[in-house]
Amino acid sequence: MEKTKIFTSSIYEQELEKFNSSRLHLRLTEKYRVKPYHEEHQNTRILALALSYFLNVLSISTAFYFLFVLLVGLTGKILAIILVLVLLVFLEKLKRMLLPRLAQRYYQLNKIATFSALLALVIFSLSSFFSYKGADLAFKSFSSTPSTINVDSIKSAYIVQISSLEAKQKELLNIKYKGTTTRTATKAAEKVQEELLMLQNEKQEELKTAREANEEKLLIFANSTDKKGFYFALLALIFDCSLVLCIFYCELYDFRSLAKFGVIAPTAAVPANEYGTNSTHKKTNCLNCNSSFEKTVPNKKYCSESCRIEAYEQRTGKKLKYKPKAD
């Protein structure tokens, strides 16, 4: 008779022990662990920071072409390159100085510094304008012109044919009898003249058709280039706006990371007073009863209306006929 086996642990407990000691458990535990804000969004912050510097370089690149073309005729190539680079780097540096400060003040105090905001808007608008115009101009300059019908080759081909017929006509007119061109030669020369006229008309028609085809092709190309150049310039403008978003996100990351640990209040519109609170009501002592109370207005001296009246009567020696209801 077989002996009955008694298991002291279930199969599920054994599998749980295997799972707890596995690399999968470590990976999933780390994946679903509740993380603080700075750790959870660290990669996003790194991406936004790297993207912001890339957008700075892109803004300088697109704006450079516009300003260089504008100044190269006045100062020469070397001086134009130096001036444009100094100006654009200065503008990008100002953006990286003003925008983080605006974001920090907005997140911490829920306020916007008017002068700094206007200055940042002017600098951002100037930089965006340079980038927009530069991107549009660069796209149009580097777009390859479409191939057109070579009008000169058509002219050359007809010139060869016309010259051949004119030489033939001249030879026929030189066939003479007793000093006069023969009738046969004259008729042949007349036919050659008709061929010349037909060839001239054919030449004019073909040249006209070729010019019209070229004009139409160039017009289509110009319209297409203008449209694509506008889209490319608009993309450069979107990149400039994305730079602002990246900078503001980096400041939001710093603010949220610090506020998560309670170092600052997320909506701290008022700095803490001497008692360590964010209340705008500062505590003081009543001049009449010496009890502590919060000042709701800056010049409040008494904790209640009854204390104010009592102090007035003691100070003046007069009794008020009408006394308001005590607090």
SS3 (DSSP) at 179: coil
- CB count within 10 Å of CB 147 equals 8
Instruction: Determine the Cα angle at 95 with ends 89 and 98, to 5°.
Output: 140
Tens digits of residue pLDDT in 150-185: 888 888 888 888 888 888 888 888 888 777 878 888
Say if residue 307's pLDDT is above 90. no
Return the H-helix or E-strand segment holding 152: helix 151-173
- What is the mean pLDDT of the segment spanning 113-131? 92
| 148 touches 217 (CB < 8 A) | yes
Stretch among 47-61, 68-82, 158-172, 269-283 having the lowest mean pLDDT: 269-283
Furthest-apart CA pair in the chain: how many Å?
158
Q: Which band of pLDDT confidence, cut at 50, 70 and 90, is reported for residue 320?
A: low
- pLDDT value at residue 297: 66
Q: Average of pLDDT values for 104-129?
A: 90
Tell me what pLDDT residue 89 has. 94
Please state, in angstroms and rounded to a whole number, the distance separating the CA atoms of residues 275 and 291.
17
Would you give the end-to-end CA distance of the chain in angstroms?
A: 95
H or E element that contains 55: helix 42-75
pLDDT of residue 5 exceeding 60:
no
Mean per-residue pLDDT for 193-219? Answer: 90
The DSSP bridge partners found for residue 294 are 283
Q: Which residue has the higher pLDDT, 272 or 169?
A: 169
Which band of pLDDT confidence, cut at 50, 70 and 90, is reported for residue 46? very high
DSSP H helical segments within 174-295, as ranges?
Answer: 183-259
Question: For the chain, what's the residue count?
Answer: 327
- At 61, list the tokens: 């690149």
Reported pTM = 0.61
Q: Which of 196, 84, 204 is nearest to 134 (CA)?
A: 84
Give whole-number Cα distances, 175 to 162, 180, 185, 188, 250, in Å: 21, 8, 6, 11, 97
Q: Taking residues 279-305, what's their average pLDDT? A: 76
What 220-224 contacts at long range (C-beta under 8 Å, 24+ apart), as own/partner pairs, is: 221/145, 221/146
pLDDT at 147 over 80: yes
Query: Which residue type occupies 28?
Result: L
Which pLDDT belongs to residue 277? 44
Residues paired with residue 180 on neighbouring β-strands, in sequence order = 177
Residue spans of the domains in the chain: they are 10-159+222-265, 270-327
Sign of CA dihedral 118, 121, 127, 130: negative
Query: If you average pLDDT over residues 72-77, what whole number do you get?
Result: 85
pLDDT band at 314; cut points 50, 70, 90:
confident
Placement of tokens 């506008």 in the chain? 230
Structural element, H or E, at residue 123: helix 114-142
Rounded CA Rg of the chain: 45
